[in-house]
Amino acid sequence: MMFVGFATLVVAGWHAYLWTRLVRDAGLRGRARKATSVLLTIMAVALPLSLLVGRSPIGASVRPLLMVGYGWIAAAFLMLVVLLVVDIARLLGWGVRRIARASPLDESRRLALAQIAGGAAVVTGVGGSVYGATRALGVIPVERVRIALPRLPRSLSGTTIVQITDLHVGPTLRREFVQRVVAQVNALQPDIVAITGDLVDGRPLDLLSEVAPLAQLRATHGVYFVTGNHEYYAGVDAWLDALPSLGIRVLRNENVAIGSGDDIFYLAGVDDWSASRHHDSHRSDVAAAVRGCSPERELVLLAHQPRSIWDAARHRVSLQLSGHTHGGQVFPWTFFVLLQQPFVVGLHKVRDTLLYVSRGTGFWGPPVRVGAPPEITRFELVTAESSDATGKRLAASSST
């Protein structure tokens, strides 16, 4: 209840600030003032309502309205950023004028500047959201990354892992999106498909038919899944029971050997980093996930959240594949993500462990991506002879 009250105050304050800067300070009068005030009031109510309805069973039936409500989150955020930057500049300008003992701005100039700032905010918010929607809902780019692993058998050099993550199938992303992702993944002819959490935003009862195209994924060594935090909001046990029917192997703090005989590497997976907060019998346990793995073999870990990297490095994991961050999804939210996660996007190294953080394949909330396009990631694992390629991104290109 306390969270609901706090969220209400935040949303109300956010929209009150927008009203102050876009209506009052810009000097809107008459019908324009009334219409803008009414619109901001409606959207202030639509924002939290969309989040609540989106997670309910009726969310899919009001999808067009949800897209508007979710889209407003991105537009209002971008407006807020522009106006805050302008206000910081105004504050600095006021300070300079005070120090220089210059005359304050006259009313007509103040009004003109307020109108320019308001116009810039609206254009950025609306234009950025429209642009971001084309990135979020358009063709998904494929990132191609080559990783050299010193202990990878020569016979497994060239093994490919295709990672998809953070699809967030639910009220706004449906079956047709999943079908498109499956087609792109299969076109890459992967040896392994890794789904690193946040697959769904809803119960199997409502969404199993929407994710059913995942059964068409084709990979030489199989399709593997680890939980993300959103599975724990959507009936995780039911999903863990349902996914094997689609040919998906769930890795819960365990590992499998890829290859045969002595020519193998290990693929491990852990429950989401925050699992124990949501489910008493679930927890992220890298030690359990790597138990029984020979130190002479390479070890690839699937972990939804990048912050699993500290445990991974302690247990000599070679490569961790993660998602969760969406790359920030809407810039400059990227900087806020850094308050929770050690890394937001791309390839990093912690001790002797490589970490790749995907920007995610779908989106959550706003159907918008600004400065953080979606991705499907194709990893090629090669032997140490190609050490000059260790962790080197070869190319990033739009898939066909």
Q: Torsion angle, CA of 103/109/110/116, rounded to 10 degrees?
A: -140
**For residues 365 and 52, what is the distance between their CA atoms, to the nearest angstrom?**
11
In the chain, what are the domains? 2-136 (no CATH), 141-398 (3.60.21.10)
Least Cα distance to 48 among 84, 2, 12 occurs for 12
Assign 322 to helix, strand or coil.
strand
- pLDDT by residue for the chain (400 residues), tens only, comes to 566 678 788 999 999 999 999 999 999 999 999 999 999 999 999 888 887 777 666 666 677 788 888 899 999 999 999 999 999 998 898 788 778 777 777 788 889 999 999 999 999 999 999 999 999 999 999 999 999 999 999 999 999 999 999 999 998 899 999 999 999 999 999 999 999 999 999 899 889 999 999 999 999 999 999 999 999 998 999 999 999 999 999 999 999 999 998 899 999 999 999 999 988 889 999 999 999 999 999 999 999 999 999 999 999 999 999 999 999 999 999 999 999 999 999 999 999 999 999 999 999 989 999 999 999 999 999 997 654 444 444 433 344 4
Whether 122 and 75 have beta carbons less than 8 Å apart is answered as: no
